[in-house]
Amino acid sequence: IMPLKVLDGFGSGSTADIADAIRFAADHGAKVINMSLGGPQPDPVMRAACKYAAGKGVLIVCAAGNSMGGPVGYPAAFPECL
């Protein structure tokens, strides 16, 4: 288990910080990354980090969102994520 905190106590943070943590986990032996976070818009920096991790064989599991049947949020909507 490799806990990496990327959001503050209010649930805010930058996508760059999240992307850094994804790459860090992939580079340090993570087999699965679980992200209980997300937003409505795709971010190219986070997408690149997810592609990087998936390319290293990491399974990325993400929260789909809290909109009760609405569209799946990001990063869950990226094809590299489950």
Q: Residue 64: its pLDDT value, please?
A: 84
Question: Dihedral (C-alpha) 49, 52, 56, 59: value to the nearest 10 degrees?
Answer: 40
**39 phi/psi in degrees, rounded to 5:** -155, 175
Positive/negative CA dihedral, 52, 32, 27, 13: positive
Q: Please name the amino acid found at residue 66.
A: N
Instruction: Write out residues in the chain with pLDDT < 50, as ranges.
Output: none
pTM for the structure as a whole? 0.90
Q: Residue 80: its pLDDT value, please?
A: 96
Q: Decide if 32 contacts 58 (C-beta within 8 A).
A: yes
